[in-house]
Amino acid sequence: MTCIIWEKEHELGIKEIDEQHKKLIEIMNHLCETINSGKENYFVDEILDDLRDYAMAHFQTEEKYFIEFKYEDAEEHRKQHNKFFSALKLFKRDLDIGEEHVAKELTEFLENWLFNHMMKYDKKYVECFHKNGLY
């Protein structure tokens, strides 16, 4: 499995949020490294906890600016955040009941999230945030 390298195309041009997105890639790469080492059974629970903590902090940041800048698509974006948390709960449940391939499925989910959510939903708020002076 190939880990992810932060690319210029991942940047939104909002320093605080770009730094948080880099943290997500670090967590994803930790998952990638554990899968490559064959030790995913030992670390997936810890990685799920890291993802939950990351998401709570990151989503709070975005949602704070949604309110402050009166972002028009905030409700739809919040729904996507809720879907992320719901998915994490399902992965945690599957891990707890001993399902196989949780790490692989989690990786696929995160890659989709990274390239779908960040590149689709997050890019939508960039203009609003920039208009309000956030870079």
CA distances from 96 to 35, 41, 89 (A): 18, 11, 10
Q: What is the DSSP letter of 9?
A: G
pLDDT of residue 42: 83
Q: So what's the architecture of 16-131 in CATH?
A: Up-down Bundle (1.20)
Torsion angle defined by CA atoms of residues 104, 28, 88 and 74, in that order, rounded to the nearest 10 degrees: -130
Cβ density class 17-34: b for 16+ within 10 Å, e for less = beebbeebbebbeebbeb
pLDDT of residue 40: 86
Out of 72-76, 87-91, 116-120, 126-130, which region has the weakest mean confidence (pLDDT)? 116-120
pLDDT at 135 over 90: yes
pLDDT of residue 100: 87
Considering 100-104, 119-123, 128-132, the range whose residues carry the highest mean pLDDT is 128-132
pLDDT confidence band for 23 (50 / 70 / 90): very high
In the predicted model, what is the mean pLDDT of the chain? 95
pLDDT at 115 over 90: no
pLDDT digits 0-9 by tens, 38-70: 988 889 999 999 999 999 999 999 999 999 999
pLDDT at 11 over 90: yes
- The pLDDT > 90 percentage for the chain reads 91
**H-helix or E-strand containing 19?**
helix 15-37
Q: What is the pTM of this model?
A: 0.93
